[in-house]
């Protein structure tokens, strides 16, 4: 009995964009990873408040060696432009390595 195999390329599969997966307004979490420093949480909150007003209670996790810190912050996203702007602006914070 012959086994049929089929190769496929992931690029051939239609990919949905983030805006197609979300229904606004909706809860949205940003995770900012950067060099561990005392003011990282304050900077993340300050940038977030510029584009999404509110009271925030960010969560921080420090790496086992203490080199990096991740800050998670939850917002109620009003539209995709707000989400995209926050990704870009949070990435500009001093010492930030990535925004998820």
Quick: pLDDT tens for 46-98.
999 999 999 999 999 999 999 999 999 999 999 999 999 999 999 999 999 99
Q: What phi-psi label fits residue 95: left (phi over 0), alpha (psi between -120 and 50 degrees) or beta?
A: left
The band of 8, judged by pLDDT with boundaries at 50, 70 and 90, is very low
Pick 9 or 84 by higher pLDDT.
Answer: 84
Query: What is the second-level CATH architecture of the domain 22-99?
Result: 2-Layer Sandwich (3.30)
pTM of the entire predicted model: 0.81
Cβ-proximal residues to 60 (8 Å cutoff; 6+ apart), any chain: 40, 41, 69, 70, 71, 72
pLDDT, residue 80, reads: 94
Domain ranges for the chain: 22-99
């Amino acid at each position: 009995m012959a086994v049929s195999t089929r190769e496929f390329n992931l690029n051939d599969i239609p990919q949905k964009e983030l805006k197609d997966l979300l229904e606004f307004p909706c809860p949205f979490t940003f995770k900012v990873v950067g060099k561990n420093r005392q003011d990282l949480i304050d900077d993340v909150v300050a940038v977030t408040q510029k584009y999404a007003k509110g009271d925030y209670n960010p969560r921080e996790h420090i790496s086992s060696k203490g080199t990096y810190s991740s800050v998670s912050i939850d917002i109620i996203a009003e539209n995709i432009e707000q989400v995209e702007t926050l990704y870009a602006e949070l990435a500009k914070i001093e010492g930030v390595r990535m925004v998820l």
